[in-house]
Amino acid sequence: MFYLLLLFLLVIVFLVMKVFQIISGYGAKSICSNVFICQRNPADIIKSDLGSFPLNLGKYKIDMQEQSVTGTVLGIAKRKAVFRQGLGATLINDQGEIEPIPAVNILPTMASGNDGLDEPIRTSARKLSDDFDAQQLQSALQEAFKGQEGKRGTRAVVVVHNGQIVAEQYAPGFDEKSKLAGWSLAKSITAALMGILVKQGKLNIHDPAPVEEWKNDERSSITIKDLLQMSSGLQWWEYYAAPSDATNMLYREPNMGEFALRKKLTTRPGTRYNYSSGSTNILSRIIRQTVAENEYYQFPYKELLHKIGMYDTVLEVDAGGTFVGSSYCFATARDWANFGLLFLNDGVYNHERILPENWVEFTKTATTARSKKKEDIYGAHWWLNTAQDSTNKSFPLVPDDCFMAKGYEGQYIWVIPSQDLVVVRLALEKGNKLDPNVFLPAIIKSLKSH
């Protein structure tokens, strides 16, 4: 009996330590990113972003000279995040090691102080268009900002119609220059980078994923397409409120893609949909291995972000130096609007084809892999409102052709081609969630031509 009790206590201590490491790691990483990338006040971050239980158990030391943040919970489970220019904030692993990468110059060639917008929306006067009913549009935006911080938590909304910003609103303390966490919006960037490599002839989505560790086992049949459509068949538990594959990867593992690719195959590839940040970080690792190492850190900016006016976007790396393509990207709402416009315009921006022909169509094609939830209609790292030949819809009152990128705590990019509309919403949503089935129809209704 004594040994059973001892074993039980040891298991509890082990689990509690894992939870504490995730809390301290999450907090240290969040503060480090928001202070050194977003230039936010540390006290505000701790109060608003980390103020709820159990995140408020963390205690943090900020070293402005070293540009680092160290977090603990009850004096234990110490985790440290370090900022490096061009690489963002990175959690150091348990051995205190980090890839010795120098600061990376990712600054665009254009003059500093640009408004973060390129054609076709850079010339917008940011005034209400004649195409909108101003009163109805403002009423729609107010729906997004109900409750403010700690409740609905909306921090930014940008509405782009016919290539122009027709509405833009921010919560107190934020504006058009504020870089905000996109969380899983980053997944759609990773997929776009894969598309660029396909366009360059370096990858084929129907080929087996080029993962050396899989070549001699059953995982060798996993294709790039399977990873993009979240149907790899790999074991994965995506859960954020407790230790899971996702939280362990993000806050305890130094090489996230390597952690994910070690998972076992549980179902035949291509047959079952299972949302997995691990799949995206395997793709991110593939991108790194495909691009020349001396070009890797500039690649996303040179080939995608700066081409479409995302000049205020920062991608972050793990301790092994690979971009955390699943989750770690900070950008302004206007930058995300530019990204949405790229997909609205079939992968073309400023008359230049960025993504390959039919890539956006592939993005919008629902996976045929079965899903446990009927409302989970997934394409290729974008969510869909409806599947082809299906009456099932995620949002019944929103046009069928709407597709979206979405992230933790209420981040959204909605693209609605039939309305020539892109809507971006960034938030710290803890409760009183915004309902897209109310918000988007209200915006569409404000169109006088609708």
Contact 442, 143 (CB under 8 A): yes
Question: What's the CA gap between 300 and 315, in Å, rounded?
Answer: 9
The 10 Å Cβ neighbour count of residue 146 is 12
Q: Which two tokens stand for residue 285?
A: 């690792």
The residues facing 169 across adjacent strands are 157
Q: What pLDDT score does 125 carry?
A: 37
Nearest partner of 277 among 254, 260, 299, judged by Cα = 260
Amino acid at 69: V
Q: What pLDDT score does 349 carry?
A: 96
Question: What's the CA gap between 159 and 45, in Å, rounded?
Answer: 27
Question: What's the CA gap between 349 and 359, in Å, rounded?
Answer: 14
Residue boundaries of the structural domains of the chain: 2-84, 135-445
Nearest partner of 284 among 244, 309, 241, 249, judged by Cα = 249
**Residue 278, class by beta-carbon neighbours within 10 Å (0-12 exposed, 13-18 middle, 19+ buried)?**
buried
The residues facing 279 across adjacent strands are none
Q: Which two tokens stand for residue 399?
A: 């046009």
H or E element in which residue 415 lies: strand 411-416
User: What is the DSSP-derived secondary structure letter of residue 399?
Assistant: -
Q: What pLDDT score does 135 carry?
A: 85
Question: What's the CA gap between 414 and 422, in Å, rounded?
Answer: 6
Q: What pLDDT score does 98 carry?
A: 78
Class of domain 135-445 (CATH, top level): alpha beta
SS3 417: helix
Amino acid at 38: C
Q: What pLDDT score does 8 carry?
A: 54
- Sign of the dihedral defined by the CA atoms of residues 192, 193, 199, 204, in that order: negative
**Cα 289 from chain centre:** 21
The 10 Å Cβ neighbour count of residue 390 is 12
Buried b or exposed e, range 280-292, using 16+ CB within 10 angstroms: bbbbbbbbbebbe
- Sign of the dihedral defined by the CA atoms of residues 202, 383, 241, 370, in that order: negative
SS3 112: coil
What is the mean pLDDT of each successive set of 10 residues along the chain, which is 450 residues long?
A: 59 72 96 98 96 94 97 94 95 74 64 43 46 83 76 92 94 96 98 98 98 96 98 97 94 96 97 97 98 95 97 96 98 98 97 97 92 82 82 88 96 97 96 92 82
* CA-to-CA dists, residue 20 to 14, 81, 241, 334, angstroms: 10, 15, 12, 36
H or E element in which residue 33 lies: helix 2-36
